[in-house]
Structure 1
Amino acid sequence: MMDITCIFMSVLMIVADGFIVHGPSGPLVAPLGSSVVLPCYVDELPVMEDLEVQWRRTDSDAQVHLFLDGESRPESQEQDYHDRAHFFTDQIQRGNFSLRLDNLTAEDEGEYICKVHSQDSGETVVLLKHERLLVSGSDRSVSADDGEDVTLNCSVDSHIKPEHIEEVLWRRTDGDILVLLFQNNETLSDSSDEQYRDRVEFFTAEIPKGNFSLRLKSVTTEDKGVYMCQVFAGGLSANATVELDQLGFSSWHIAVLFFCFAAGSGAVLLLCSLIYYRYKNTVTSSIIWTLQVSLVFCPNICLFFAFMLWGFTEGSLHETVTCCALCILRPVMLIWTLRYLKCLQDNHKSWIRFFRITHEFTVLTVIVYSVLFAYGWRISAHDTDNISRIFSGIFFGGVVLFCLLSAGLNDALCIFLSFFQLFQLISSFGLPSPGFLFVPFVLPLLTRLQARFECLHHRWMTILCILIITLLDIILVIYAHLTILEREKEYLEWTCVILFIEVLKIAVIVEHRVLKRMLKEDERSRVQRRRETETSQQGSNTLSLCNEIMFMFGAVGLVLLNSVTLTAELILKARNGERVMKDMRVIVFPSESVFVLCWLILQMHAYWRIVIAGSTQNQRNLHQRVQLMEM
C-alpha cells in the first residue's frame, strides 16, 4: 500500500497553488553502507527569499535536514542523520532540493517527505528501501552413504558484493558446533571444531558469485543433523538451514554387521550342535571336543573383528583397544572354566591346564595400563615439567615387569603390582589430595593379612577371612582408581574396565589359594563321593548343571549380548546421527564381571561341599576307630 501511495503521489506530483514538486517515479533501492540520493526538485526557478526546504521522516516526524534563510541548518538534524544527510547547496538556486544520504543503514528504510515553502508551497514523498539479505539453502534434506562426500548448499541471493560480506558461518544447530568460518574475505579452517577439521571446505571459485556452499568430506553417522549457514553483511544477518539425513551404511558398517551376525548366530548354532551330539550316544568324544573348542574360539574371534572395524568407523581408540583385547582374551577364561566341567574326559582336562586365568589377567592389565599411560602422556605433552612423565614411565615399566612375573603369582607380586598401578595413575593424572598417598601403602598390609589367615586350623575360616580381606583390598583399589580418574571425561568407562580387572584379580587369588586345592581334593575324594547318599548325589548333579549353565552364559550369552548391543548401536546411530550409548565398555565389561563373579561363587560353593564332605568322612572314620578301640 505504501508503494502505491508513493507512486501515485509521485506521478500526480502534489500540486499546491500551481507549485509542482517532483520526486522519484518509484521506490528507491540501495545497498547497505552505500550513498543514495533522494530526488526533490521543481521546474521553475525558486525565489530565494523566504525559501524553506524541509526533509522529514513520515513515520516518526524526525527532521532529516533543513534549508532556511539561504543556508543549510545541520544543527536542526536528528542525531542519527548528523554528518550523513547533505543538500547539494550549489544546486538549490536551480530548484534542486535533493538530499544525499550516506552510509545507508537498515534503520534508514522508510518514507521521507520533502516540503518546499516559498511564495508557493508543495511536497513530494520518497520511499527508500535497502537491499534485503536473502540466503537460500536446500529445500530437501541431503542424503549420503557413510564415507562419501556431500555438498550443503548456501547461496547469498543479493546484489551485495562478496567483499562487503563480513562473515559467513556454518554451524551445527543441535550442538552449536562450529563447522567452518569465512571472515574478512578469508576462510578460517583452524576455527573448525575438531570433529570437522580437515573435512570441510568452501568452493573458492564460487565465492565471488555469492555461493558459500560447503563440501563435507568422508561423511560419518555422527555428521547427521541440521546445519545452518549464517551470513552477516552491513549490520544485517540472514540464515538458511540444510538437513543431512538418511545416512546409509558404508562397507565398514556392513562388515561390522556381518561379523556381529556371524558371532551371534555362530554361537547359537554351535551350542545347539553341541547339545544334540552330547545326547547322541553314537557320536565320539572327539567331535564333542571339537564343537566345544569351536564354541570357545570362533564367536569371539568374529566379535574381535567386529569391534576392530567398529573402531575404524565410529568407536574411540580407548573403547576399541580394550573391547578387542577382552574379546580375544575371553577364550582363555572359557578354557580355564572347562576344567571344572565333568562332561570332559581326563585327557582333555590335562591339555587345558595350560590355559590359566592368570594369563588373561596379566595381558589385559598390561593393555589397559598401556592405554592409560599413553593417554596420560598425551595430556601432559604441554607441561613444562617433565618429572611427572618420567615417573609415569618408570611406574608403567614396573606394571609391565610384575605382570610378566606374575605367572607364579605370590603375595609379593600382588603387593608390588597394585603399588605400581596406583603410582602410575598418580604420576599421569595427578594426586587428588596429599592424604591420598597413604592408599598404596595400605594395600601391602591387607595382602600380608591374607597370608596370616592361611594358618588357621579350620579351612572354612581360612577361606572366609581370605575372601573378606581380598574384597577390602579390591574395594580400596577401585576407590583409588575412581578418585584419580574422576576428572577425566571417560570416568564411567574406565570404572567398568578397572572393576573387571579387579574381579579378575579376585579370580586369580581364589584360584591360587583355593581352587587348586579343590581340584586335588576332588581327585582324592572321588571314591568317597561315590559312596554318598542319593540326595547328595542329586545335589552334586545340580551343581554340575549350574556350572554348565554358567559356562554357556559365558560362551554364548556374552557373545550374544555384545553382538546384539553393537548391532543395535550401529543401526540407531545411522538413523539418529548420534550414539545412544556413548561407549560400549559400559556394557561389555560389567557383563563380563558378572560372569566371572557368578562362576567363582559356584566354585566356592563346590569347594565348600568338598570341605563339608571331607569333614563328615573324617568324623565317621574317627567314630569307627573309637568303636574298634572299645571292642
Structure 2
Amino acid sequence: MFCVILHFNSHLHKCMFVAALFMICEGFLVKGPSGPLIVPLGSSVVLPCYVDDPLPLKGLKVIWVRTDANTLVHVFQDYESRPDAQYQDYHDRAHFFTDKIKHGNFSLRLENVRAEDKGFYRCKVYTEQESDETLIQIKSVEHLMVSGSNHPVSAYVGEDITLNCFADSHIPPEEIDEVSWRKTDKNEIIQVLVFEKNKIIPADERYRHRVDFFTAEIPKGNFSLRLKSVRTEDKGVYMCQVFAGNFSANTTAVLEQLGFSVLHIIVLILCIVASGSALVLSVLWYLKQRSSNTTKALFLQMSVVTVPNVVMFFAFLFWGVIEGFLSETVACCAHYFLRPLLLLWAAPHSKHFPGSRETVVHCIIHLQYSLFTNVVHSVLFKSFWEKSLRYEESDKVLITILFGIMILICIVNIVFLLAELITYKDVRIHVVLDLVSDIGHDVLPPLQLIFLFYAFGAARRALFVLGVFPLFLTLTRYDWNKACVEKLQCSSLFRRAAWLSFMITVNAIMVYSYLIALEKEKDCVGWVCVAAFLQGLWGIVVLKHSFDDLDLPFRRVVYLIGSVGVVLVNSVALMTELIMKVVDGERAMEDLRKVVFSSECLFVSSVLLLIIFEPYIKKFQQHFQREAAGTPHNLSNQNQAAEEMCELRSLRETE
C-alpha cells in the first residue's frame, strides 16, 4: 500500500511539471508594430518585437534578419547578445535592450539610419518547445541632403559671385520651411538672406540690396546665393541651412582671396597725393610767407587749405563705394568737404581776404557748423527711420518734427550767412543775422539731445533735457563778461578761466549725452567722436572771436598741425584700413571716425585755448622777445595801461 502511494505521488509531480511547462510555453505570440515605419535619415529607430508574458531565458534565442536582403542583423543566444554574428553593415548600429529581454521585450534599436535600410525585418523568437515571429517594415527613409561647392570662391572687390547650395530631396520646394544663409564671423553670426514659406526676406543691412536667390531655380532645389559688389568685409565662411519638417541639413561656402580692385588702388593713390601735397605746399607756403610777396603766399595758403582736403574727400568717397559704411562715409566726406572753411578761418593770411575780416571770420565758421550739423543729424534720422517700425506713430511724428525744426534752424542760418557774405554792409541783414544765429545756436544743442533721446529709445531722459532747457538758454544768453567786469570786478585771467570751465562743462555734458543716447548703437563711439568735434565748432562760433591777432610762433604751429598733421594722420589711417582689410579680411580700426574726428578735436581744442588765453600768450611772446633783445623788464606806465586795456577785451562781443 505504501508503495502504491509513492508510485502515485511520483506520477502526480510529473504531471504537474508538464502542465506548468505547457501553461508557460503554449500560445506565446510575438508582436510587432501596427504598421510600416517611416524613419528620418540619420536618426535612430526602434523596431518593436515583444511578447505579453516573459519567457524563460534558458534555451531562449532571438534572431533579427533582413528578409529582402537575407542578412543577419542581430542575435541573442545563451543569455547574451552576439554582435560577432552580425552582418558588417550593422556593426555598432543594431542593439538589443538587453536588460528588457527577461521581461519579454526583444526590440531592436537601429542607429544612424541610412537610405538603404529601407525594407523588411523579421524578428523570430525560439524557446526549447516552440517559436514565433513578426515582420516589421521600414517603409521609407525621409532624407534631406544639401550640397555645395568643394572649392573656395575667390574674387576681386566689386565683382559679383555665386555661393552654391543645392537641396537634393524628394521633398518639394514648397514644403521646405526655411532656407537661411548666414556668415559665421569671429564674434557674431550675420544673417545674410532668408527664404521662408515661399518669401525672400532680406536680413542684415550690410547685405541689403546686394544678395538674392536665383528665383527661377528655387523649384529645382537651387538655393544658391548671388552676392553683388563684393567688399573686403564679405570675406569669410557662409553656411546654407535648409529646414523641412523635422529635418535639417547644411553646407558651407568659403569666400577668400579678395584682391585689390581698381578703386582700392585709386584710394591708395589719393591718400598718397593728399599727404604729399599737404607737405610740399606747406613747405612752399612757409618759405614764401617770409618774403614780401603776399600774393604768392596767399595763393599757396589757399592751395594748402583746399587741395589736400579735396583729395581726401574723394578718397573717403571712393572708400565708401568700396566698403559701403554709410555713417562713416557720409561723416568723413562731409567733414573734408567743409574742412577748408575751418582752415580758412584759422589761416594766417586770412586778413587779406576780401570783405570785412570780422564778418568773413564769423560767417565761414558759422556756415561750417550749420552745414555739418545738417549732415550729421540727417544720417542719424535715417538710422532712426530704418528702426522706426517698433515706435508708436505719435513718437515717430514727434521725432520727425524735432528733426524738421533742427534742419529748419540750420537752413535759415545758412541762408542768412550767405546773404551777409554777399551784402554784409546792410545793417538790417546784419541785425537779423545776429538774432537768428544767436538764438539758433543756443537752441540747437538742447534740441539735438531731445531728438537723440527720443529717436534712440531714451524718452525719459529727453524730459530731463526739456527741463534744463531754460537753464541752458540762461547760461548761454547771459552777458557773463559784463557782469564780471562791472559788478564783480573780476580779473581778466579769472574771467577767461571761468569761460573755459563753462565751455568744457557744457561740451562734456553734450558729448556724454550722445554717449548715453546712442549706447545701444554699434557705431556709438564713432558718433561720440563726431559729437565732440561738432561741440568744438559750436564753441568757436559762440566765442565770436578773431584768430587773426595771434603772432608767431604759436598760431602758425597750430595752423600747420591742422592743415598738414591731421591730413597725414587720416591718410595713413585710411591706407592702413584698406590694406589690412584686403590682406586679412578684418578692419584695422572698428570705425575710421575715431581717428578722423579725434585728430580734428585736438586741432580745434588747440585753437580754442589760443583764443581764450590770447593776451597771456602774447605777453609771453613779448617777454621772450625782450629777453632775446636784452630789453629791460620794467615798462613804462603807459605800456602797462595799454596791456590792462587789452586784457579787459571781451571774449564774447555783444551788440
The TM tier, using the shorter chain, reads 0.5 to 0.7
Alignment of 1:39 with 2:52, yes or no, is no
Which position in structure 2 is the counterpart of 1:60? 96
User: Superposed, which structure 2 residues align to 1:405-484 within 5 Å?
Assistant: 413-414=437-438, 416-427=440-451, 429-430=453-454, 431-433=459-461, 434-447=463-476, 448=478, 449-455=480-486, 456=489, 458-484=491-517
Name the stretch that deviates more: 106-115 or 458-467.
106-115
CA distance in 2, matches of 1:77, 1:232: 35
User: Superposed, which structure 2 residues align to 1:265-284 within 5 Å?
Assistant: 265-275=276-286
CA distance in 1, matches of 2:131, 2:150: 54
**Secondary structure in 2 matching 1:180:** strand
**Aligned-pair CA distance for 1:150:** 0.8
Which position in structure 2 is the counterpart of 1:319? 328
Kindly indicate whether the alpha-carbon contact (under 8 Å) linking 2:274 and 2:567 is maintained by their aligned counterparts in 1.
yes
CA distance in 2, matches of 1:470, 1:192: 44
Which position in structure 1 is the counterpart of 2:312? 303
Alignment of 1:557 with 2:565, yes or no, is yes
CA distance in 1, matches of 2:538, 2:371: 13
Kindly indicate whether the alpha-carbon contact (under 8 Å) linking 2:413 and 2:436 is maintained by their aligned counterparts in 1.
no
Which position in structure 1 is the counterpart of 2:148? 137
Deviations 1:79-100 (A, max 9, x none): 999xxxxxxxxxxxxxxxxxxx
What runs of 5+ residues in structure 1 fail to find an aligned partner?
1-28, 43-55, 65-75, 82-100, 523-542, 624-631
Deviations 1:293-320 (A, max 9, x none): 2122100110111122223332433333
Kindly indicate whether the alpha-carbon contact (under 8 Å) linking 1:422 and 1:481 is maintained by their aligned counterparts in 2.
no
Which position in structure 1 is the counterpart of 2:273? 262
**Aligned-pair CA distance for 1:462:** 3.6
Q: Which amino acid aligns with 1:115?
A: K
CA distance in 2, matches of 1:80, 1:59: 6
Deviations 1:178-229 (A, max 9, x none): 3334456x3x311543433443344456556654432222222232210112
Which position in structure 1 is the counterpart of 2:536? 503
User: In the superposition, relative to structure 1, how do residues 618 and 500 fare at CA in structure 2: closer, same or farther (>3 Å)?
Assistant: farther
Kindly indicate whether the alpha-carbon contact (under 8 Å) linking 1:426 and 1:484 is maintained by their aligned counterparts in 2.
no
Q: Which amino acid aligns with 1:597?
A: S
User: In the superposition, relative to structure 1, how do residues 361 and 285 fare at CA in structure 2: closer, same or farther (>3 Å)?
Assistant: closer
- What RMSD, in angstroms, separates the aligned Cα atoms of the two structures? 4.9
**Aligned-pair CA distance for 1:411:** 9.1
2:400 to 369, 383, 389: 389
What runs of 5+ residues in structure 2 fail to find an aligned partner?
1-37, 48-64, 71-89, 421-429, 624-632, 642-655
Alignment of 1:619 with 2:637, yes or no, is yes
CA distance in 2, matches of 1:235, 1:380: 35
CA distance in 2, matches of 1:222, 1:232: 28
User: In the superposition, relative to structure 1, how do residues 416 and 158 fare at CA in structure 2: closer, same or farther (>3 Å)?
Assistant: closer
**Aligned-pair CA distance for 1:158:** 6.8
2:191 to 178, 184, 190: 178
CA distance in 1, matches of 2:301, 2:356: 14
**Aligned-pair CA distance for 1:418:** 2.6
Q: Which amino acid aligns with 1:39?
A: T
User: In the superposition, relative to structure 1, how do residues 464 and 454 fare at CA in structure 2: closer, same or farther (>3 Å)?
Assistant: farther
Aligned length: 519
Alignment of 1:368 with 2:370, yes or no, is no
**Secondary structure in 1 matching 2:400:** helix
**Aligned-pair CA distance for 1:143:** 0.8
User: In the superposition, relative to structure 1, how do residues 488 and 396 fare at CA in structure 2: closer, same or farther (>3 Å)?
Assistant: farther
Name the stretch that deviates more: 552-561 or 437-446.
437-446
Q: Which amino acid aligns with 1:310?
A: W
Deviations 1:17-59 (A, max 9, x none): xxxxxxxxxxxx99859x99963799xxxxxxxxxxxxx9962
User: In the superposition, relative to structure 1, how do residues 568 and 293 fare at CA in structure 2: closer, same or farther (>3 Å)?
Assistant: same
CA distance in 1, matches of 2:559, 2:640: 39
User: In the superposition, relative to structure 1, how do residues 402 and 122 fare at CA in structure 2: closer, same or farther (>3 Å)?
Assistant: closer
CA distance in 2, matches of 1:249, 1:225: 17
Kindly indicate whether the alpha-carbon contact (under 8 Å) linking 1:142 and 1:243 is maintained by their aligned counterparts in 2.
yes
User: Superposed, which structure 2 residues align to 1:81-160 within 5 Å?
Assistant: 112-115=121-124, 134-156=145-167
CA distance in 2, matches of 1:327, 1:234: 55
CA distance in 2, matches of 1:123, 1:472: 91
User: In the superposition, relative to structure 1, how do residues 216 and 274 fare at CA in structure 2: closer, same or farther (>3 Å)?
Assistant: same
Deviations 1:470-522 (A, max 9, x none): 3334334444544444455443223222221222233334453xx47x83xx8
**Secondary structure in 2 matching 1:254:** helix
**Aligned-pair CA distance for 1:594:** 0.6
State the TM-score, normalizing by the size of structure 2.
Answer: 0.65
Kindly indicate whether the alpha-carbon contact (under 8 Å) linking 2:373 and 2:534 is maintained by their aligned counterparts in 1.
no
User: Superposed, which structure 2 residues align to 1:226-245 within 5 Å?
Assistant: 226-232=237-243, 235-245=246-256
**Secondary structure in 1 matching 2:237:** strand
CA distance in 1, matches of 2:595, 2:640: 53
Kindly indicate whether the alpha-carbon contact (under 8 Å) linking 2:406 and 2:447 is maintained by their aligned counterparts in 1.
yes
Kindly indicate whether the alpha-carbon contact (under 8 Å) linking 2:452 and 2:517 is maintained by their aligned counterparts in 1.
no
Kindly indicate whether the alpha-carbon contact (under 8 Å) linking 2:345 and 2:361 is maintained by their aligned counterparts in 1.
yes
Deviations 1:521-548 (A, max 9, x none): x8xxxxxxxxxxxxxxxxxxxx723432
Deviations 1:347-391 (A, max 9, x none): 579897775265234433343245425643735576322345335
Q: Which amino acid aligns with 2:637?
A: Q
CA distance in 1, matches of 2:219, 2:98: 39
Q: Which amino acid aligns with 1:498?
A: A
**Secondary structure in 2 matching 1:190:** strand
**Aligned-pair CA distance for 1:557:** 0.9
Which position in structure 1 is the counterpart of 2:580? 572
State the TM-score, normalizing by the size of structure 1.
Answer: 0.67
Kindly indicate whether the alpha-carbon contact (under 8 Å) linking 1:170 and 1:178 is maintained by their aligned counterparts in 2.
yes
User: In the superposition, relative to structure 1, how do residues 503 and 475 fare at CA in structure 2: closer, same or farther (>3 Å)?
Assistant: same
CA distance in 2, matches of 1:204, 1:63: 54
